Every structure is written in structure tokens, then in C-alpha cells.
Amino acid sequence: MSQASNQTTALPREDAPPGVGSRAFALTALVGTAGAMLWLAVAIVRIFTDSWIAPIALSPDSDAVLSMNLELTRQTAEIERVQGEMARIDAEIEAIDGGLERLRTLRDASAAVFQYGADTSGEEEGSLGRSLRELHEERAILDRLIARQRAETDRSREHLASGLIERRDLELQEQALDSLELQRIGNIRSTEAAELQHHRARISAHEFEASASGDMSARMPEIVAQHESAARLEVEVLRLEAERRGLVAMREVAAHSVASLQAVMDQIETRPAYIATTQRMDVAFVTYQQIDGVSAGRAVYQCTAGIFFCHEVGRIRSVLPGEIVTQDPWGELARGRYAVLDLDEPDAVQERILRVR
């Protein structure tokens, strides 16, 4: 009985109070658990309140920058091509203006040509009239000379028959008569030619005067040819004027095209990929779902596994205008904008995502 009593006395009592070490361990565990729960709660809150961005390191060797350089080269070449086309159009317009000035001068001189023809034909008619009178007077003189020479020749024949003169003397008289006859024939031919020319000059003067007054019914080949030339001049003037209007319209289209291309160039020059053609640049893609939480001056954080152990690595310098369509960090096609970063830790750009607070 005494052994049983001793064994019973050696057993600890169930309601004995814990020691100090146990209480400290329990308190530490409780504080640690509470801290972990608080940290987890903050991390979860940060997941829903922070905005994420996809960092991108742009440099002259980046694919996006090389593509931008290629696009920039094409855009510049297109602007230069259109500007060259405008220069060509300007040269053609200048040439057309010079041609139109000369053609209009010739066209305006057409009426003066008809008046000049009328005056010249009138003078020719007067000159031929005087020549005809002189030819008629010459014929009358020749007729008288021929009559006297014929009588002289007849007397010479009688004298030859009477033996008063030699045969040679008669032949000289006959030669003189033949010469006068030939002169008369030449006079008749000249008179007929002069009469024909006088008739033509009179008709020409009449038709030139009619043409100068606007009558187009002339039948003389020269005047008809002049009318045709004037008509061709008028048609050529109208054609060049129409061509000039077309070139002016083309130049306006080209100028509008250059302005549009230049506006695109101005937009390109504001893009990070353009700026990165000469220097390294850290940017980030921000989707429209996250854009409200991203603005200039906000802090950028790098986190382990995206949400744990976050620390500040830089700030947002600016959010660029203009929409970007690209893949988000999870491979989905998304729309958004670029934000320019000022990173204190350049290696942070290698992260898949950064957070903004």
C-alpha cells in the first residue's frame, strides 16, 4: 500500500500551471502567426490595389527599335518621294505657264495677222495695178513700133526687088521685126500673169479683211490654213489650261499627303522606340485596365513572385499619349499605353511585371 501511495505521489497533477518558457513560446507563436496573417492580408490587399506594368528595355539594338527604324526609313522615303513629285509638278506648271504665255500672245496676234494680210494684199493689188498700166502702155508702144517696122520691112523687100539694097539689109529689117514681135509676145505673157496676180491680190485683200472682222467663210488656202492654225492654237491653249488645273489639283493632293505623312512622323518622333534609336530607354506597357493607377511620380516596386517582399526600384516619369496594341505579360493581346520609367535599379526592367503604388 505504501508503494502505491508513493507512485501516486510521483505523478504530476493535471491542473499544474505551465512554465514561463512555454508561455513565451506560445506568445511568440501567436505574434508570429498574427504578423504572418497581417502581412498576408496586406499582400492580398496590394494585389487588388496596386497596378501592374510590364517593363521593357529599349535600345538601338532592340527588335522594336529596329522595326521603328525600318518604318521611319519608309516614312522618310515616302515623304521625299511625294516632295519630289511636288517639285516635278511645280516644274511642269512653270513650263505650262511659259507655254501658255507664248500661245496666248500668238493667239492674240491672229487678228493682227489677218489685218496685216489685208494691208499687204491691198498694197500688192495697187502695185500690180500700176504694173498692168505700164504693161498696157508698153504694148501700145510695141504695137506702134511693130507697125512702123513692118512698113519698113515691106519697103526693104521692094528695094531688094528693085536692086537698091542687098539681101543682108532685108534680113536685118526682118530680124528687127521679129525681135519686136517677140517683145510683144513677152509683154502679153507678162500682162496676163500680172492680171492673174492682180485678181488674186484683190480676192486675197477682200478675204483677209473679212477674216479680220471675224468672218470664217474664206476659201483661200492661205487664209484657211491661218484659220486652222488659229484654231489649233486655241485648242492647245485650252488643253494646257486643263492640264495645268489637273497638275494644280495633283499638287494640292501631294501637299496634303506630305502634311499627313509629316504628322505621322511627328507622332513617331514622340514614341519611345524612336527615342531609343539614339539612347537606351526604360519603358513599361500599361493596359487600360491598369492605367488609372499609373501616373507621373508614382513609385515602382519590384516583388518576389510578383507579390512578396516588394521594394521600391524607381518612379514613373510620364505616361505617353497614343494607344499601343501588344501582348501583355501573360501572352494576351491587349490595348494600352507606354509609361516612361526612371529606375534606380536598372536590372528591375528584366522582371516580368512591376507594381505601381
Which CATH number characterizes residue 198's domain?
Answer: 1.10.287
Residues 286, 266, single domain; the answer is no
pLDDT of residue 314: 92
Cα torsion 345, 347, 350, 354 to 10°: value is -20
Residues 257, 343, single domain; the answer is no
**Cβ–Cβ contacts within 10 Å for residue 13, how many?**
6
Residue 22 lies in a domain: no
Residues 299, 323, single domain; the answer is yes
pLDDT of residue 36: 56
Residues 293, 264, single domain; the answer is no
pLDDT of residue 2: 44
Domain span including residue 310: 280-357
Residue 14 lies in a domain: no
Residues 159, 223, single domain; the answer is yes
pLDDT of residue 39: 53
Give the strand pairing for 333-343 and 51-58.
Answer: unpaired
Residue 50 lies in a domain: no
Helix axes 63-108, 110-162, angle to 10 degrees: 40
d(CA 324, CA 322): 7
Judged by average pLDDT, the poorest of 4-18, 74-88, 279-293 is 4-18
Phi, psi of 282 (to 5 degrees): -100, 120
pLDDT of residue 93: 92
Residues 69, 87, single domain; the answer is yes
Judged by average pLDDT, the poorest of 190-199, 220-229, 275-284 is 220-229
Among residues 312, 310, 316, 319, which one has the least CA distance to residue 342? 316
Could you tell me the pLDDT band of residue 188, with boundaries at 50, 70 and 90?
very high
DSSP state of 316: E
pLDDT digits (tens, 9 = 90+) for 268-327: 777 777 777 767 788 888 988 888 888 899 999 988 765 667 888 999 988 888 787 888
For the whole model, what pTM was predicted? 0.48
Q: All 3 cell numbers of residue 290?
A: 491598369
Residues 129, 233, single domain; the answer is yes
157 pLDDT above the threshold of 80: yes
Residue 74 lies in a domain: yes
Residues 305, 252, single domain; the answer is no
Residues 244, 132, single domain; the answer is yes
pLDDT of residue 91: 93
159 pLDDT above the threshold of 70: yes
- Average pLDDT, stretch 193-212? 78
Q: All 3 cell numbers of residue 206?
A: 477682200
Residues 186, 271, single domain; the answer is yes
Judged by average pLDDT, the poorest of 39-48, 109-118, 122-131, 334-343 is 39-48
Residue 249 lies in a domain: yes
One-letter amino acid at 302 equals Q
d(CA 208, CA 210): 5
Instruction: Domain count for the chain, please give it.
Output: 2
pLDDT digits (tens, 9 = 90+) for 14-49: 555 555 666 666 667 666 676 656 555 555 555 656
State the CATH number of the domain containing residue 313: 2.40.30
- Average pLDDT, stretch 197-210? 77
Domain end (from 275, 291, 320):
275
Domain end (from 243, 259, 275):
275
Judged by average pLDDT, the poorest of 9-13, 235-239, 283-287 is 9-13
236 pLDDT above the threshold of 50: yes
pLDDT of residue 227: 67
pLDDT of residue 214: 61
Residue 294 lies in a domain: yes
Judged by average pLDDT, the poorest of 6-20, 300-314, 342-356 is 6-20
Q: Taken in order 129, 135, 138, 139, is the CA torsion positive or negative? A: negative
d(CA 304, CA 310): 7
Residues 84, 160, single domain; the answer is yes
Residue pair 268/322 in contact by the 8 Å Cβ criterion: no
- Average pLDDT, stretch 130-148? 91
d(CA 206, CA 212): 10
Q: What is the mean pLDDT of the chain?
A: 79
DSSP characters over 82-134: HHHHHHHHHHHHHHHHHHHHHHHHHHHTHHHHHHHHHHHHHHHHHHHHHHHHH
Q: All 3 cell numbers of residue 65?
A: 527599335
pLDDT of residue 290: 86
4 pLDDT above the threshold of 50: no
Domain end (from 206, 241, 275):
275
- Average pLDDT, stretch 92-106? 88
Residue 172 lies in a domain: yes
d(CA 148, CA 11): 199
Task: Write out the H or E segment, with its range, that includes residue 340.
Answer: strand 333-343
Residue 12 lies in a domain: no
d(CA 283, CA 294): 13
Residues 291, 261, single domain; the answer is no
**Cβ–Cβ contacts within 10 Å for residue 299, how many?**
13
